[in-house]
Amino acid sequence: MLNERSDVYSFGILLMKIISGRNPADYSRPQEEVNLVEWLKTMVANRNVEGVLDPRLPEKPSFRALKRRYNK
């Protein structure tokens, strides 16, 4: 059943896809990186915010900007 909560979750997945350049489920990656949400949780827990960014982004935010956004 679709509702406001599922819409918010789906929008979050879309944002993560754009920022990371990854698909929600990518079976060509190692087992611990297949699921986008689980991979992102691991990256945040390890404080590897820069590692989440798509390397193909034309302009990357500064580490300071990432840290500021991450801590809010």
DSSP 8-state symbol, 51? G
pLDDT tens across the length of the chain (72 residues): 778 888 888 888 998 898 899 999 999 999 999 999 999 999 988 988 888 888 898 888 777 776 665 555
Residue extents of the structural domains in the chain: 4-71
Tell me if the pTM is above 0.75.
Answer: no
Convert the chain into a string of H (helix), E (strand) and C (coil).
CCCHHHHHHHHHHHHHHHHHCCCCECCCCCHHHCEHHHHHHHHHHCCCCHHHCCCCCCCCCCHHHHHHHHHC
**Cα dihedral across residues 61, 67, 69, 70: positive or negative:** positive
